[in-house]
Structure 1
Amino acid sequence: MKKLSIIIPVYNEAKTIHLILQKVINITLLENTSFEVIIVDDCSTDTTIEAVNNFIQQHSNQQILFLKHTVNKGKGAALHTGFKAAQGDYIIVQDADLEYDPNEYNILLKPMLDGVADVVYGSRFMGGNAHRILFFWHTIGNKFLTFLSNMFTNLNLTDMETCYKLFNAKILKSIVLKEKRFGFEPEVTAKIARVKGIRIYEVGISYYGRTYEEGKKINWKDGVHAIYCILKYGALRF
């Protein structure tokens, strides 16, 4: 029996955290695959902690681990905490909002379980799945960051910034990650690309994006920092 560790970094997501957790525990994974859920709260200032505790109490039969930061450190730092605690054979990142559908884990898992992949990215820009129409400049920004990242990694990804990244746990834990905020995506991509013999796949997924009024947090400053991280970690190849 293989196990999937689902890492959920959380910061001020009281409105949606119970909804995404319900979606996660309702998933049916491919045969002979179980899962654990690891929630890492990054010092939320709303009622997120209360909402998570209530959910865990109501679903005590589920394998859910709730970890908390006493100071706000950033998404990357929350992921580092979750990765260290993960006990599964595979690790996937799940945002606490409703932009990504946990029912699509199996799409990412299949190449891994088939023994052909070590890392699988879920792309919002390929395949025929549902994709909410939102911000033109965000799309241009994402494609530019992916293009720039590909230049340094020599990969041909279509969506480097995607949340859905599925890793072989041993490989992920062998990598030293430093970025504590939104620089995680370009850093982990640059570093896994340097793993000898790594097999990276990409599959199409749905995307139910949200507006800033609905709680979206990432902004242009994070995009600038992503460029910095691509140059910083990508340059190590040369």
Structure 2
Amino acid sequence: MRHALRSTHSTHLRPTISVIIPAKNEALLIAGTMMTVAEILKAAGYVFEIIVVDDMSCDDTVSQAKWACRQLLSVPCRIIATTQSLGKGYAIAKGFAVSTGDLVAFMDADLEYPPQSLPIMASLLETYPHSCAVAYRTEDKRPWFERVTSKVAHQLATLALHLPVSDTQAGLKMFPGWFARQHLSCPRQTGWLYDIEALLAAQNNGLRIIQIPVTQQRIRPRRAGIWQMLACAVPLTQLAWTQWRQSWSSKFSSRTSQNPAPALSTVLTSQKVTEPSRPPRSLIGPQAPHDSRPHYEKIP
């Protein structure tokens, strides 16, 4: 049975938060990530839960996550294991489906995106309820090839789908809980295109997209490149075709409306968040052996 989170604030009920962390072969990092997220949200005064979705890892990711759960006695934590490895998007959707928070966020397990953005996003969605918040990278410390492939992927998605965002692929996003559970828990795209499908769903349902500037920290090299981009050409075309049909159907059915609602997007420039703080190595649980198995192949 799923138990909803309850805010402990008596004078003002702040929204509760579910943080989804998809993980594949993240034994070296997952415990530290969970504890860092807990520390930041506790300090900000939020009631929250952490949901780790393990995508059939071959290392000790699950045991490391369970160790972190035991350390975080006052924080509801759940570890969910997928029965088939279909990609990062599938893992995120599984987490969304079991979440209970008023707000639901997902973030990468390696802390490449600063978790300090979570309270900022939550505060904005508390002020603007019918909105979602997404990170966008203003500084990029990755090698030139990773930067170029990322920009090419984003430009292709933007041109094909007309999304009003600066960065479709940043691995840190927050949505209203009802929206995530209703619209994002059964995706068509289960890989890195899941981010684009989620943003399209937000746009099509009239959510304002608030963009939060962050600095991405490159922690490890990526294996995603030109071949992964080419492999996504067909599903990206399918997404564009579906979006085009829905757009024209909507225009046809609302011809009598003289002032159609535009796509809403807000870019913040004043609250830049940089490198995430990390707990001392002694807080990251029992030492896990180095593992060179592939992690999520993403085009950040």
Does residue 53 (structure 1) correspond to residue 63 (structure 2)? The answer is no
Cα gap change, 1:98 to 1:30, in 2 (>3 Å): closer
Equivalent-residue separation in structure 1 for 2:232 and 2:132 (angstroms): 21
Equivalent-residue separation in structure 1 for 2:180 and 2:228 (angstroms): 23
Contact 2:41–2:118 (CA under 8 A) maintained in structure 1:
no
Q: What percentage of aligned pairs have identical amino acids?
A: 21
The structural deviation recorded for 1:43 is 1.2
The structural deviation recorded for 1:82 is 0.2
Cα gap change, 1:226 to 1:29, in 2 (>3 Å): farther
Deviates more, 1:90-99 or 1:138-147: 138-147
The structural deviation recorded for 1:116 is 6.1
Does residue 43 (structure 1) correspond to residue 56 (structure 2)? The answer is yes
The structural deviation recorded for 1:30 is 8.5
Structure-2 residue corresponding to 1:230: 236
Structure-1 residue corresponding to 2:298: none
Q: Give the partner amino acid of 1:235.
A: W
User: Pick from 64, 78, 97: which aligns with 1:84?
Assistant: 97
| Structure 2 gaps, min length 5 | 1-12, 245-300
Structure-1 residue corresponding to 2:191: 181
| Structure 1 gaps, min length 5 | 126-130
Does residue 159 (structure 1) correspond to residue 170 (structure 2)? The answer is no
Equivalent-residue separation in structure 1 for 2:134 and 2:234 (angstroms): 22
Figure out how many residues of one structure are paired with residues of the other and give that number.
229
Cα gap change, 1:132 to 1:200, in 2 (>3 Å): closer
Query: SS at 2:16's partner residue?
Result: strand
Does residue 169 (structure 1) correspond to residue 182 (structure 2)? The answer is no
The structural deviation recorded for 1:218 is 3.5
Structure-2 residue corresponding to 1:128: none
Deviates more, 1:148-157 or 1:89-98: 148-157
Deviates more, 1:69-78 or 1:37-46: 69-78
Structure-2 residue corresponding to 1:199: 208
Contact 2:48–2:75 (CA under 8 A) maintained in structure 1:
no
User: Pick from 123, 129, 132: which aligns with 2:136?
Assistant: 123
Deviates more, 1:82-91 or 1:148-157: 148-157
* TM, length-normalised to structure 1: 0.86
Cα gap change, 1:219 to 1:228, in 2 (>3 Å): same
Contact 1:93–1:164 (CA under 8 A) maintained in structure 2:
yes
Cα gap change, 1:30 to 1:22, in 2 (>3 Å): closer
Q: Where in structure 1 do 4 or more consecutive aligned residues deviate above 6 Å?
A: 29-32
Cα gap change, 1:134 to 1:31, in 2 (>3 Å): closer
Kindly provide the CA deviation profile for residues 201-227 of structure 1, in whole angstroms up to 9, marking residues without a partner as x: 111012112232xxx454433323444
Does residue 133 (structure 1) correspond to residue 146 (structure 2)? The answer is no
Cα gap change, 1:208 to 1:117, in 2 (>3 Å): farther
* TM, length-normalised to structure 2: 0.70
Deviates more, 1:100-109 or 1:89-98: 100-109
User: Pick from 79, 83, 95: which aligns with 1:66?
Assistant: 79
Question: For residues 2-41 of structure 1, what are the structure 2 equivalents within 5 Å?
Answer: 2-28=15-41, 33-41=46-54
Equivalent-residue separation in structure 1 for 2:86 and 2:216 (angstroms): 27
Larger radius of gyration: 2
Deviates more, 1:141-150 or 1:13-22: 141-150
Contact 1:29–1:106 (CA under 8 A) maintained in structure 2:
no
Equivalent-residue separation in structure 1 for 2:51 and 2:19 (angstroms): 6
Cα gap change, 1:190 to 1:28, in 2 (>3 Å): closer
Q: Give the partner amino acid of 1:205.
A: V
Root-mean-square deviation over aligned CA pairs: 2.2
Deviates more, 1:36-45 or 1:114-123: 114-123
Query: SS at 1:102's partner residue?
Result: coil
